[in-house]
Chains A and B, each alone.
Chain A
């Protein structure tokens, strides 16, 4: 029987076609719409509007701020959790880790609706008035994206050699110093990817702010949604591109930083 040989690169063809049709083509369309106005002629009108209409740019800053706050809270909660989970004493058989992953098995939309219902239930039990707005939106974002902070930090920390901390302790470092001088620097690759994985989706989401902000909180994602549903695709596309550029920038910084830490790590090893 003749041996059928398939060159390995052919295996990538389906994905290449998929990329072309569902990633590159839509992207090209977005770019096209962004640089044309409603009449179909080429213009920079949309980008000028972004800075001058006095609303969108403010919402943009607001979105960055909310994403920043969410990321900080996620880090403050997520790092200690990841640290504890990475310790085999508490997380034998990885059951605890699994418990933290469990909420992610439920659909994101359902989770957000459930969060809303929880707020309402607590409000009526404790007889306090819960006003849905920025605070509840941030809560929902933290709740939804916390696992994305925990997982990368957890995986870097759990692959960390325990002897570093032992050596540091033997050499007379206090426990706080061990964390700040040894563990934290070594966990940086995980922290950076955790930050990007939380920061980027929070920047563009609009469902959480709609549901938990009672449609009163307007982030950039909400404006993009509005522009597209109101039939003005050009401005919506321009805003999407701005968001895309910002995400690209975050990715770029992450990559640069990660490369650096890796070379630093190389020296240590």
Chain B
């Protein structure tokens, strides 16, 4: 017995120790936890090299303060938004897309940035700044950016079909087409496709700016009429699709299962590389009607506890070396520009293109400061922004960039769009399903009716019998044997008394027996 107690004591102390030691040691070192919230596989964070670990080192050296990064990932932006909005999660830094930033701003979920604490912002070219969703970059700093386009199998898709969004609706490639199972992107593209003729007309006369405004108006100001048109197009497309996908599409393209895929530029980079190993040639293009340009920016959510360190983290992410490492790891195009990064992006096999648009501000002007910068690049590193060999996949060419538009939040119309999406995917009921449902309904009604009928019938039967009995006794007692009846009544009463007495004693006995039984059982237990 004593031994047992001793072992219990030892075990308990061990348990307590294991719980307490980390807690206590944590207190002593005073480590601040910085919570970073980002999409999956969207930063360099491996066993050997990790920009997160490097930030911890950098911050320790700079301030002497130990910081540990808690890195959490989300799968969809909508879910991440819900977590911040409804659950008030205390994330310090987060990297959402443009339209989500707009939504967060609208709902007062962001902290205004102090740009003095982010000097590296100067590494980001003006094209990526001062965008619709966050004018003057009050709340956000660009991290990655890219386009939406079509990835296709160059061996299977005819060259003549590669020019516009029509490829996604081309029934020549029936059962080989992949569409995104992401409502925001698919609706955007389907809207442009639905208005392709109007846009083609407009392209002949309009300036790039007018054209962009038109696309933005079409895709972002959704109305019921527009949605009906879009639904029709998506419905036609449904019949020739191989799949709706979000992530699995890359694999389907690499395996050669599918030939055409609506793709994000960063995903395409990865897929094209992987497919080569399989002997499959993929390529990517931005359709001529125009497309979506998206920006993923760092923001500081309202519930952050470490706003200063969060600023420091964002600044660290804009460092050219760190940016290059992230780009190398993820395949996405970083927002930061440096000689090394331009070097990394350059592909000798690609035709030279003009990329000076990167330095244009919203009105299409290049400031004196940026002109000097362009010249500095040219003189110092031999980098000529008017003729760079960068593939469209990495950065859109000037022609494409002229027709790229941002997405905005659907706001209250979100519900309407989701409803439309479920209608697209709903197959019309097959004949077998219809017959089955009718039979099911009939059988359910029949069962209910039958059980009700049975109950009523039972009641009637019982009631009828009682009535019959009552009538007969009344008749008997009333007419002939009134004397006898009173006597029998008395007899009944006395026997009833005796009977109840008898049954009571039975009951008592029985309950006693039960008690004994119960006791027995309990003892057994």
A: which residues have CB within 8 A of B? 38, 53-56, 58-59, 61-62, 64-65, 68, 120, 129, 131-132, 214-218, 222-223, 226-227, 229-232
B440 touches A215 (CB 8 A): no
The listed residue (B78, B175, B243, B422) touching A129 by CB distance below 8 A is: B175
Residue B419 at the chain A interface, CB threshold 8 Å? yes
The listed residue (A53, A65, A214, A216) touching B433 by CB distance below 8 A is: A65
Q: How far is the CA of A55 from the CA of B231 in the complex (A)?
A: 13
A214 touches B244 (CB 8 A): yes
Q: How far is the CA of A55 from the CA of B424 in the complex (A)?
A: 9
Instruction: Considering the complex, give the chain A residue whose CB is closest to the CB of B82.
Output: A231
The listed residue (B81, B244, B414, B436) touching A65 by CB distance below 8 A is: B436
Q: How far is the CA of A227 from the CA of B419 in the complex (A)?
A: 9
B426 touches A55 (CB 8 A): yes
B: which residues have CB within 8 A of A? 76, 78-79, 81-82, 175, 181, 183, 238, 241-245, 255, 257, 414-415, 418-419, 421-423, 425-429, 432-433, 436-437, 440
A227 touches B429 (CB 8 A): no
In the assembled complex, the CB of B342 is this many whole angstroms from the nearest CB of chain A, namely 39
Instruction: Please list 26 pairs of residues, one from A and one from B, whose beta carbons are closer than 8 Å in the complex, sorted by A's number.
Output: A55-B423, A56-B422, A58-B426, A58-B428, A61-B433, A62-B433, A64-B436, A64-B437, A65-B432, A120-B255, A129-B175, A131-B175, A132-B242, A132-B243, A214-B244, A215-B181, A215-B243, A216-B238, A216-B425, A218-B426, A222-B425, A226-B421, A229-B76, A230-B414, A231-B78, A231-B82
- List residues of chain A with CB within 8 A of the CB of B432: 65
B78 touches A218 (CB 8 A): no
Q: How far is the CA of A120 from the CA of B255 in the complex (A)?
A: 10
- List residues of chain A with CB within 8 A of the CB of B238: 216
What 14 additional pairs, Cβ within 8 angstroms, besides A217-B427, A218-B426, A231-B82?
A: A54-B423, A55-B423, A55-B426, A61-B436, A61-B437, A120-B255, A120-B257, A216-B243, A216-B244, A216-B425, A222-B425, A229-B78, A231-B81, A232-B418
A62 touches B418 (CB 8 A): no
In the assembled complex, the CB of A66 is this many whole angstroms from the nearest CB of chain B, namely 9
Instruction: Considering the complex, give the chain A residue whose CB is closest to the CB of B421.
Output: A226
B422 touches A64 (CB 8 A): no
- List residues of chain A with CB within 8 A of the CB of B244: 214-216
A218 touches B436 (CB 8 A): no
- List residues of chain B with CB within 8 A of the CB of A229: 76, 78-79
In the assembled complex, the CB of B147 is this many whole angstroms from the nearest CB of chain A, namely 23
Instruction: Considering the complex, give the chain B residue whose CB is closest to the CB of A38.
Output: B415
Instruction: Considering the complex, give the chain B residue whose CB is closest to the CB of A134.
Output: B427
Between B78, B81, B419, the greatest number of chain A beta carbons within 10 A of the residue's beta carbon is seen for: B419
- List residues of chain B with CB within 8 A of the CB of A132: 242-243
In the assembled complex, the CB of B450 is this many whole angstroms from the nearest CB of chain A, namely 14
Instruction: Considering the complex, give the chain A residue whose CB is closest to the CB of B183.
Output: A230
| A62-B242 contact given A56-B422, A226-B418, CB 8 Å threshold | no
A223 touches B422 (CB 8 A): yes
- List residues of chain B with CB within 8 A of the CB of A222: 425
Is chain B's binding surface mostly helix, strand, loop or mixed? helix
- List residues of chain B with CB within 8 A of the CB of A58: 426, 428-429
B241 touches A218 (CB 8 A): no
Q: How far is the CA of A223 from the CA of B424 in the complex (A)?
A: 12
B425 touches A218 (CB 8 A): yes
- List residues of chain A with CB within 8 A of the CB of B428: 58
| A231-B245 contact given A65-B432, A218-B425, A223-B422, CB 8 Å threshold | no
- List residues of chain A with CB within 8 A of the CB of B257: 120
In the assembled complex, the CB of B447 is this many whole angstroms from the nearest CB of chain A, namely 9
Instruction: Considering the complex, give the chain B residue whose CB is closest to the CB of A214.
Output: B243
Instruction: Considering the complex, give the chain A residue whose CB is closest to the CB of B436.
Output: A65
| A62-B427 contact given A216-B238, A216-B243, A231-B414, CB 8 Å threshold | yes
In the assembled complex, the CB of B124 is this many whole angstroms from the nearest CB of chain A, namely 31
B422 touches A214 (CB 8 A): no
In the assembled complex, the CB of B367 is this many whole angstroms from the nearest CB of chain A, namely 41
Q: How far is the CA of A231 from the CA of B83 in the complex (A)?
A: 10
In the assembled complex, the CB of B222 is this many whole angstroms from the nearest CB of chain A, namely 15
In the assembled complex, the CB of B72 is this many whole angstroms from the nearest CB of chain A, namely 18
Q: How far is the CA of A222 from the CA of B437 in the complex (A)?
A: 20
In the assembled complex, the CB of B87 is this many whole angstroms from the nearest CB of chain A, namely 13
- List residues of chain A with CB within 8 A of the CB of B433: 61-62, 65
In the assembled complex, the CB of A74 is this many whole angstroms from the nearest CB of chain B, namely 17
- List residues of chain B with CB within 8 A of the CB of A131: 175
Instruction: Considering the complex, give the chain A residue whose CB is closest to the CB of B181.
Output: A215
The listed residue (A53, A61, A231) touching B419 by CB distance below 8 A is: A53
- List residues of chain A with CB within 8 A of the CB of B436: 61, 64-65, 68
Q: How far is the CA of A129 from the CA of B242 in the complex (A)?
A: 11
- List residues of chain B with CB within 8 A of the CB of A38: 415
Instruction: Considering the complex, give the chain B residue whose CB is closest to the CB of A132.
Output: B243
The listed residue (A59, A61, A215, A230) touching B418 by CB distance below 8 A is: A230
In the assembled complex, the CB of B81 is this many whole angstroms from the nearest CB of chain A, namely 7
B422 touches A215 (CB 8 A): no
- A-B pairs, 4 with minimum CB distance: A214-B243, A215-B244, A218-B425, A55-B426
Q: How far is the CA of A10 from the CA of B440 in the complex (A)?
A: 46
B418 touches A227 (CB 8 A): yes
Instruction: Considering the complex, give the chain A residue whose CB is closest to the CB of B417.
Output: A230
- List residues of chain B with CB within 8 A of the CB of A231: 78, 81-82, 414
The listed residue (A61, A217, A226) touching B422 by CB distance below 8 A is: A226
B429 touches A61 (CB 8 A): yes
- List residues of chain B with CB within 8 A of the CB of A129: 175
Q: How far is the CA of A59 from the CA of B440 in the complex (A)?
A: 15
- List residues of chain A with CB within 8 A of the CB of B437: 61, 64-65
